[in-house]
Amino acid sequence: MNTENALQDWRELAHRVEREVAQAVIGQPQTLRLINVATFARGHVLLEGDVGVGKTTVLRAFSRAIGGDFERVEGTVDLMPGDLIYHTYVDAEGRPRIDPGPLLRHGERLTTFFFNEINRARPQVQSLLLRAMAERTVSAFNREYRFPHMTVFADRNKVEKEETFELASAARDRFMFELNMSKPTDRSIRRALVFDTAFHDTEALIAQVAPALLPAEELNTIAALIQKSVRTSETIERYVLDLWEASETPQNLGITLDGVDMNRLILAGASPRGMSALLRATRVVAWLDGRLHVEPDDVRAVLPAILGHRIFFTPIYELRRAELAGALIARILDRVAAP
């Protein structure tokens, strides 16, 4: 099969995954598209939002559609790093036993690792997960375990603050996207969610998603093919570099925010890792749209989800992140001229 046919076949599979998940999750098309983009850009996703908006349902539905081996961990305050590696118990004969934990028990077959409420886990647990995300390996029992096909989906409850441990800024940089999933505003969708009993049974909703649509062990190969095949022009490269510089020194573009001393706002702009993630994601957006070249709208489509958690504010403004990050990125997009 030639490259063009392979890209077309995988594009149809990618769109089918999105359609299948959309049967279980209504009113969140932007979230579904960006998770699909991250899957084919081989990036990890952190999802946050209000209580009861369906974050877990979205991630479980994607996990089912993607296929491969799946593992899920619940974040709790007493979870320790070793709990991800091994499991100890006493067997029926009264002998102590040690079995592989959730990260190890599937070996290289592990495709989706879902960490529910990651901010309830202690920093030591978060650190182990972050290493596994970055390197797709962990060391245990005097050997190295590899998870070459693993994608981590994590969600975070942003409402409750008791017994929670917020991810450090540098840790959040390891996630390709940080998506804020909000309540749908469309009245007809709200009505369906409340009065249509089909949306009251989460297990039944997940079950209607067609399972294992993708040959998950080939995701790395097709992802590399997408990155190699989708072109970026010099004009797009200049646009991206201008956006990067704007994330570091927005005041140089005359950008202002109400009640903010712009000279004291930014501690650090986007990292090279962040901008690399931006280009990986924009190429996938172009591919999903049936093109082999990146356009400015592809960049604009993913920039808020890429930059929102990668612009580091000084401490006096960090507490206003939720208010300032979105406003700043919107001003950057307005002020940096698109080609």
pLDDT of residue 239: 96
Q: What angle do CA 90, 92, 96 make, to 5 degrees?
A: 25
Split at pLDDT 50, 70, 90, the class of 86 is confident
Query: Which amino acid does the sequence have at 19?
Result: R
Residue 10 has pLDDT above 90, yes or no: yes
Split at pLDDT 50, 70, 90, the class of 337 is confident
Query: Which amino acid does the sequence have at 301?
Result: A
Q: How far is CA 89 from the centre of its chain?
A: 34
CA distance 234 to 246: 18
pLDDT of residue 1: 66
Split at pLDDT 50, 70, 90, the class of 3 is confident
pLDDT of residue 320: 87
CA distance 239 to 237: 5
Structure tokens at 50: 């209000």
Q: How many CB atoms lie within 10 A of CB 48?
A: 21
CA distance 39 to 149: 11
Tokens 């559609």 appear where? 65
Cβ atoms 307, 270 nearer than 8 A = yes
Question: Rounded mean pLDDT of 222-226?
Answer: 96
Cβ atoms 170, 270 nearer than 8 A = no
pLDDT one-digit tens code per residue, 169-223: 778 889 999 998 888 889 999 999 999 998 888 899 999 999 999 988 899 999 9
Enumerate the β-bridge partners of residue 99.
87
- Which of 56-65, 109-118, 174-183, 289-298 is most confident? 289-298
Rounded to the nearest integer, the mean pLDDT of the chain is: 90
Tokens 């990125």 appear where? 329
Nearest one of 18, 57, 71 to 213, comparing CA atoms: 18
Q: What percent of the chain has pLDDT over 70?
A: 99
pLDDT of residue 291: 96
pLDDT one-digit tens code per residue, 29-85: 999 999 999 999 999 999 887 778 888 888 889 989 998 888 999 999 999 999 999
Split at pLDDT 50, 70, 90, the class of 160 is low
Q: pTM here?
A: 0.91
Enumerate the β-bridge partners of residue 157.
49
Question: Rounded mean pLDDT of 281-303?
Answer: 97
- Which of 3-7, 109-113, 297-301 is most confident? 297-301
Structure tokens at 167: 């991810």
Query: Which amino acid does the sequence have at 209?
Result: V
Q: Which residues contact 183 (CB under 8 A, 6 or more apart)?
A: 50, 53, 190
- For the chain, how far is it from start to end, CA to CA, in angstroms? 35
